[in-house]
Amino acid sequence: MGTRCLTYVFDEECNPIVCVYRQFDGYPEGHGEDLKSILLGIPIVNGIPAESRNRLLFNGMSELAALLVYGLKDQYPRGNIYLVPPTWPPEDQGQDYIWVVTGEVGESATVYYTCVYDDDEWHHWFGPRVDPSWCNKLYI
């Protein structure tokens, strides 16, 4: 049986943009490392400046969400990665982990996760440290 996870990307107003369901390897050493390889250190901007032609940037959280889905599907073109409705609190998909991606213009993405069966705490994975209670919706 796989280690399932859900990954939510939230916009600046704390609304879920997308929810990615991963059927296996949803734990930090699997999915967490994949998230790092796609998101780590890439700044979020509001508008792509002309002088940044060869620089990787996310033009807001919506583009970050789209490129995250693209990056995961690029690694796993058949199966394993699916989109599900981004309802919050999460619906039961048999997930073991829930991942949350947030971000602000001028910084890179911040990623937190929680293990559904082990604890109710949010663990910082990477990115700028933000109090995970920044959004009262994150209490599950």
**What digits encode the pLDDT tens for the residues 76-90?**
888 899 999 999 989
Measured distance CA(112)–CA(110) in Å, rounded: 7
Smallest Cα–Cα separation from 97: which of 87, 75, 112, 76? 112
Measured distance CA(84)–CA(131) in Å, rounded: 26
Task: Please give the chain's pLDDT, 140 residues, in tens.
Answer: 689 999 999 998 889 999 999 999 999 999 999 999 999 999 999 988 777 666 789 999 999 999 999 999 999 888 899 999 999 989 999 999 999 999 999 999 999 999 998 877 888 899 987 765 666 656 54
What pTM did the predictor assign? 0.91
| Amino acid at site 18 | V
β-pairing verdict for 44-45 and 58-59: parallel
The residues spanned by each domain of the chain are 5-138
Say which residue the tokens 């993405």 belong to.
Answer: 109
